[in-house]
Amino acid sequence: MNPFYFKKAFTLVVCIFTFLEAKAQTDFRPGYLITTKGDTIKGLINFRSDIANAKNCVFKKDYDQEKETYTPDQIKAYRFIDGKYYISSNTFDYPIEHQTFIESASQGIISIYYYKEENKEHYFLQKDTLLIELDHHKKYAGSLSRIDYDLDKAAPEKFRGQLKYLMWDQPSLYKRIERTSCDVKDLVALAKAYQELSSPAQTYVQYVTEPAKKVKTKIGMFASGGLSHLDTPPYNMYISDYDYKKFLDFKKKSFAYEVGALIDLSFNFLGENKYFLQFAPALSFTKYKSYEELTIAPLRYSYRTDIQFTALKVPMMLKYSFYRSNASIFPYIKAGPGGAFYLTQKGVYDYRSVPLNGSASQETVYIEKFSHKYEVKPFRAYFIGGAGIDFKKGKSPFSLGVTYETGQGPIDTYRTEVLFQVGIQF
């Protein structure tokens, strides 16, 4: 394959996906906001980072409507349906230096609140009428954000002392508190455990739930077809040598096709429906054609070879999806190593020699058909990369994409392939 054209194609793909990544930063999800008068307005809210969500709320009533940006002094609260809930600092009974939206992580006997700035995080706990901010100097929160604060003299467990003070009536939790980190996940779990001990009948409201830690598996199948090319060594051609392996020059690209399975292992704990480990075992069928002529007076020699290879390919790729909850089309990129086990080869080798000034009847012809099943399957390693689009439609999503493979090929060659792929998930 011409490296120049491949570089142009690769650059184009990078540009396209850089654009798509920028577009993917817009992730509008169903939600609602509460006005300063207490009215509820339903619509779509842009789901962003914790820092961005704390600064403002980007809202629109429908997908085709213009977006509007609300600051903490313009609305009381906003929430994603079955997701995060933010309240304005104007309604928060604690002095906050700058106006911000504070995330209400949970509500119960002890409620958890949180917001994040550029270089520090703030955690608040409320029990009855008492509302405190946790001091955790490693996160530079609260009063410990002073530049002149001596971190070496700071007590890193100060926030744990605050937790013990709030939960003084449940000493059985003290050991757990010693192991607790100052983050939303641990604090919510601790507050929930406290409520189960103190008042199990009381409802505990958790606005943010952690994604499932277990790896989810998605299974499908695919078919692909495209062009394959072998770069063969510059073999010398000897008249007396009929070894077909020595007379190959695959100048033309050949057609290749594959049929296989798609096995996606999704890592939701890294990002919702974004990160996958993909296995794509497939049977590959490729037929290569070689033709060479050589003139050495007084004879002209020709060598023609047709070889079809069947291989079992087993690539393992990391796949990243530009997933958005409100969309039905998700671009993706993927790349990783692969291995090919060559199962069979079959074809025809045709050798001919004819005098330059003689008649066709003086032609010497040698034709050999061969069909070989490998007892020890040759293994060839390669690299595979690809890009495409997943379409979410009904119960069986499907995908369109293209892959590029480069690496070792059969019979001591270097192989490159470009295949177009169609897949479906069950």
- At 303-337, the pLDDT tens digits run 888 889 999 999 999 999 887 765 678 899 999 99
Residue 194 has pLDDT above 90, yes or no: yes
20 domain residue, yes or no: no
Calculate ∠ Cα 276-277-280, nearest 5°.
Answer: 120
162 domain residue, yes or no: yes
245 domain residue, yes or no: yes
Question: Given this model, what pLDDT does residue 34 score?
Answer: 96
User: Alpha-carbon distance 231 to 1, whole Å?
Assistant: 9
φ/ψ of 372, rounded to 5, equals: -135, 130
> Residues 164, 252: one domain?
no
Question: Given this model, what pLDDT does residue 74 score?
Answer: 96
pLDDT tens profile 33-43 = 999 999 999 99
> Residues 307, 373: one domain?
yes
Q: Give me the number of domains the chain comprises.
A: 2
| DSSP label of 245 | G
> Residues 236, 119: one domain?
no
> Residues 263, 404: one domain?
yes
> Residues 179, 241: one domain?
no
Q: Are 407 and 380 in contact (CB under 8 A)?
A: yes
14 domain residue, yes or no: no
109 domain residue, yes or no: yes
Average pLDDT over residues 352-367: 83
Range of the domain at 296: 216-425
Calculate ∠ Cα 101-103-108, nearest 5°.
Answer: 135
- Domain termination residue (choose one: 171, 206, 241): 206
Whole-number average pLDDT of the chain: 82
CATH number at residue 260: 2.40.160.20
More confident residue, 369 or 422: 422
> Residues 175, 286: one domain?
no
> Residues 372, 292: one domain?
yes
396 domain residue, yes or no: yes
Residue 371 has pLDDT above 50, yes or no: yes
Average pLDDT over residues 130-155: 57
Residue 353 has pLDDT above 90, yes or no: no
Residue 248 has pLDDT above 70, yes or no: no
